[in-house]
Chains A and B, each alone.
Chain A
Amino acid sequence: VNDKENIFRERFMPLYPLLYRVAFSILGNEADACDAVQETMVKIWSMDADIGSIGNPQAYASRVLRTTAIDILRSISRKSDIVTDDAVTADLYVNPDDVGSVEYIRRAVDSLPSGQREVLKLSAYEGLPNNEIAAATGFTTDNVRQLLSRARKKLRTVFNIA
């Protein structure tokens, strides 16, 4: 138990600020991001396998975190989403007067249907390639490509009219 605790504290605990920012980029608020990081750490701490055998703790923890954050995002989306992924032409809730602000792109991305929002955030903010986005979200790589295409085209429209 002591060995496990030492390994956890040395290799995984220092990752929590990085994990928090990844969680924040996906979830967009402090409370949900904290929940995602805590849940991720508990998953790693509670796993049956030897955590000392994990070769790249950062990559491993990031993968667990992305899956966890996406799950949280989906549970939130189920409660609030009224737009389907097919609604490419649906309006995004942005104010053209805010076009130069960070708030503008944030509102636009948050207005996307949940699937598009997930893949766009992982692509634009985490810089993940399509296959890693597929691993994190459970979509096929072809689905990821389609969702990314719709999300990017839709975002471009809000900057085109601005």
Chain B
Amino acid sequence: MSNLSKNTLSTEEVGRLLNAYYDGNTTAEQENALMQYFCGTEQVPEQYMADAALFRALKAERESIGKVAVPAHLEQTIAKATYAGKHNASRYMYYMRWLSAVAAVAVLAVVAVNLQHDTQPVDTVPTYAASELRSNTVVSPVGPTLADVEQDTITSAVPEAEDNIVPERQVAKVQSKTPDDPYVEVTDSTSVTRIMDDVLGQLSHSLSIANNGVRKVDIALNMSEIINKALKK
């Protein structure tokens, strides 16, 4: 619309455009034409003086906004709120997750080793029980079995009795096949009771260590959760 240049706007056209302007019906191009007219023409007709003052003020404000200094910190603030901050946070989270996982595995490993070490005597309970059983009831088998042949120390340790009667409170016959072999047999019920007491004591000790381990894992997991929450904030 070349007829909207300030040189060609007649007073009537200005009046018509102003009416459209105050009705909210002008296009951006028509508003620019009015702006150019009022800001480029010194001799504005008397009836348009207020309109000219308004357009000049709006133009001055528009230009002053264009000169507004951008705060120096803004770029850094945006970077931290987007790619820079995000990256750092995710990297930190990544390392912290790995650290938490490694810590949890380490605690579990320590607990597992302790349990394995402390519960080893428990494995001998059936052995004690079996030996107790054998010593009371099957001390002298009717016929030799393969086990009896292999464990000749047992049968040789127990004196042969024709009527299969084993003296009560017999002195414990504890023997080991080899010095390193944890396998032992006890035929005395007093010793068995003492050993069972030991075993139960050790079992109780193992359970308390296990309980302690579980508590440590619990603390580690809680710490991990607290760290994760803090990082999310």
Question: Which residues in A have some Cβ–Cβ distance to B below 8 Å?
Answer: 1, 5, 8-9, 13, 16-17, 20-21, 24-25, 30, 34, 37-38, 41-42, 45, 99, 102, 104-106, 109, 123-125, 127-130, 144-149, 152-153, 155-156, 159-160, 162
Partner of B65, one of A1, A21, A148, A162: A21
Contact (Cβ within 8 A) A45 B82: yes
Q: Is the beta-carbon distance between B22 and A21 smaller than 8 angstroms?
A: no
Q: Are the C-beta atoms of B74 and A37 separated by less than 8 Å?
A: yes
A125 contacts B83, C-beta separation under 8 Å = no
Which chain B residues border A16 with CB–CB below 8 Å? 70, 74-75, 78
Contact residues in A for B64 (Cβ distance below 8 Å): 102
- Contact yes or no, B24 A42, CB < 8 A: no
A145 in contact with B25 (CB, 8 Å)? yes
Complex Cα spacing A123 to B26, Å: 10
With an 8 A cutoff between CB atoms, is B86 at the interface? yes
Complex Cα distance, B57 from A16, in Å, reads 27
CB distance from B49 to the nearest CB of A (A): 8
Q: Which residues of chain A have C-beta atoms less than 8 A from B32's C-beta?
A: 127
Q: A34-B77, A152-B24 are in contact. Are A125 and B62 (CB under 8 A)?
A: yes
B116 near A: Cβ within 8 Å?
no
Binary interface encoding of chain B residues 49-68 relative to chain A, with 1 for a CB under 8 A from any of its CBs, else 0 = 01101100110111011101
Interface size class of B (residues with CB under 8 A): 20 to 34
A150's closest neighbor in chain B, by CB? Answer: B24
**Residues of A close to B50: CB separation below 8 A:** 156, 159-160, 162
| Residue in B58, B62, B82 whose Cβ sees the most chain A Cβ within 10 Å | B82
Question: How many Å lie between the Cα of A31 and that of B2 in the bound state?
Answer: 42
Say yes or no: B24 contacts A129, CB within 8 Å: no
Kindly state whether residue B147 has any CB partner on chain A within 8 Å.
no
A129→B27 contact, CB < 8 A: yes
Pick from B23, B54, B71: contact of A34, CB below 8 A.
B71
Interface assignment of B21: CB less than 8 Å from any CB of chain A: yes
The interface of chain B, by Cβ under 8 A from chain A, is 21-25, 27-28, 31-32, 50-51, 53-54, 57-58, 60-62, 64-66, 68, 70-71, 74-75, 77-79, 81-83, 86-87
Give the complex CA separation of A162 and B53 in angstroms: 9
Q: Which of B25, B28, B79 is the one whose CB lies under 8 Å from A127?
A: B28
Residues of A within 8 A of B57 (CB): 102, 104-105, 159
Please name 6 further chain A to chain B contacts, defined as beta carbons within 8 Å, in addition to the given A21-B66, A159-B50, A159-B51, sorted by A numbering.
A20-B68, A42-B82, A102-B60, A125-B65, A130-B24, A156-B50
Taking CB atoms, residues of chain A closer than 8 Å to B74 are 16, 20, 34, 37-38
Please determine whether A21 and B83 come into contact, CB atoms closer than 8 angstroms: no
How distant is the Cα of A57 from the Cα of B23 in the complex, in angstroms? Answer: 33
The answer to whether B22 touches A153, judged by C-beta atoms less than 8 angstroms apart, is yes
Q: A20-B70, A34-B74, A37-B74 are in contact. Are A105 and B61 (CB under 8 A)?
A: yes
Picked from A30, A99, A160, the residue with its CB within 8 Å of the CB of B71 is A30
